[in-house]
Structure 1
Amino acid sequence: MIKKKFNVNRSDQPHAPTPNLRLRVAYGGLRYEISVNSIATFGEVKKVLTAEIGLQANEQRLIFRGKERENGEYLDRCGVKDRSKVILMQDPSSIERRFIEMRRNAKIQSAHRAISDVSMEIDKLTEQVSAIEKSITDGVKVPEVQITTLIEMLMRQAIKLDGISADGDATAQKNLQGKRVQKSVEALDVLKISNGKIKPAVVTTKWETFDPPPNMSPWELFD
């Protein structure tokens, strides 16, 4: 049994002394006991119960003597006495709304996790793009297959992003990662052109660079 005391006064009689009533509230398998003024309304009782159990007032239905009571009805005028029993039920429509909200939140969290995974892969790929850009800027020719493979890997991440169903903030994150992929692919397309203009390094053999010793005829090297 949980006991708490709450005082609620009728607004049109702020200075009139009013007795407190102890209400026994049954909510499913739980039992609560609260203290309110006898001239409180059932709407005010709902506010007390919101603080007690966390269920919002618009989600509550209060049953007294087999009848659902309206927010504006006063306890004393409805015959509520000390230790009277009131049944609290959750409004069915609010249960459905909460279920929908829970599913929506779960969907958003799942989208955030999926986008985060793709983002980490894109981070790795953009590092490779930077490495290729540095090589080409330094005049070092990069194998073309390395560039085309990297483009394909980036496009796979773009496909993954397209398959993620996102709402709210997740949509913004999804779009941001999509722009990163697009920017990297465009950069590689430009680098591919620059890379094609770089002449491959010519490797010479040792005999082409070998000079005969001084005072020795080149023909003497073959004796």
Structure 2
Amino acid sequence: MEQHGGATASSATTTGNIEVEDSGADFIKIKVSFGSNSFDVFTNPQSTFGDLKCVIAKSTGLDPKVQNVLFRGKEMDDDESLQMVGVKDNSKVILIENTPAKIEDLEMVEEIKESTPTKNEELENVEEIKEMSRGLEAVNRVREEINQFEEQVVSLETVVCSGIQVADKDFIYLTEMLMRQLLKLDGIDAEGEGRTQRKLEVRRVQGLVEKLDNLRAKNSNLTSDVQEKADEPSLPSSSSKVNQEGEVS
């Protein structure tokens, strides 16, 4: 390398059909990877990435505005210092041509990525659907039991309303069974439609329990009426004779 008037001469090197310029000792060599090509450029270590883009532009013909320079996998801003981010002699950077068409392509790719669920998201969705299905099935099983108890409540109502006394234990049994159904419903972890159906069944059971309380009170009144009739004194018939002492003969 020949020096003239204190300046350092430079020589050209070609790598991957791209001609670059070698510089003197005050400059560091940076390896640039661009598509299938790679080449070296030389610049001052105190330069910024904006300065580096201008150097790359001389070698590639790419306007700095359409250059994206990545160092250690991160896109660097124009005002960032090479030295401050750790660029040294023989460091490697990646050059990407960021033309308007390619920007649109990149944006489209990002939109597709955002709108397309990942495998983890798909698995989460499947698990959520399974969980909702399990909750709804559990509610349906309890509903079948409630249907049976509701039929018994209706039968009990028919008997009591006809004026026939029913054993108190029948009311106690049905009330206890319905309360157990409430506990079952409360223990079901349901979402979506399952949660809606669970609320409906809870209200239904509460209504049946209230009806049983009313029927039980009515049944108790039937018992009192029978007892009152049994306690009433028998009146003497018109054919009975009353003696002087007031006795019925």
Q: Which has the larger radius of gyration?
A: 2
Give the TM-score taking structure 1 as reference length.
Answer: 0.49
* Structure with larger RCO (C-alpha < 8 A, sep 6+): 1
TM-score normalised by the chain length of structure 2: 0.44
